[in-house]
Amino acid sequence: MPTGEIAVIRKAAAILRDREAEAAKLRTFLGFAAEPGRLSSALDMFAMKEELSPEGETLWNDAMARIERERHDPTLSRSRDIDL
């Protein structure tokens, strides 16, 4: 999720918290419609449901290999000092 969108998403969640019908319409519009009688988690909503094309699979494998390499690079994988 882009960090710049967090405030917008939180605001929308706060507005829709007590409005189940409107929230359901928005989830349906965004393609996150839940199965009847089953709660959806964030993992359910954002998981890829379609299989990747061969090109997509190659891109995925390249990205995972890069992440694995960068995990071990101390200049890229270091603790951050975060002020909360």
Q: pLDDT confidence of 56, banded at 50, 70, 90?
A: confident
Q: pLDDT confidence of 65, banded at 50, 70, 90?
A: very high
Q: Enter the tokens of residue 46.
A: 């954002």
Task: Compute the distance between CA of residue 44 and CA of residue 18 in angstroms, rounded to an integer.
Answer: 22
pLDDT at 59: 92
Against a cut of 0.75, is the pTM above it?
Answer: no
Section 53-59 average pLDDT: 90
Task: Compute the distance between CA of residue 66 and CA of residue 72 in angstroms, rounded to an integer.
Answer: 10
Task: Compute the distance between CA of residue 33 and CA of residue 46 in angstroms, rounded to an integer.
Answer: 12
pLDDT at 61: 92
Amino acid at 6: I
Q: pLDDT confidence of 40, banded at 50, 70, 90?
A: low
Task: Compute the distance between CA of residue 23 and CA of residue 30 in angstroms, rounded to an integer.
Answer: 11
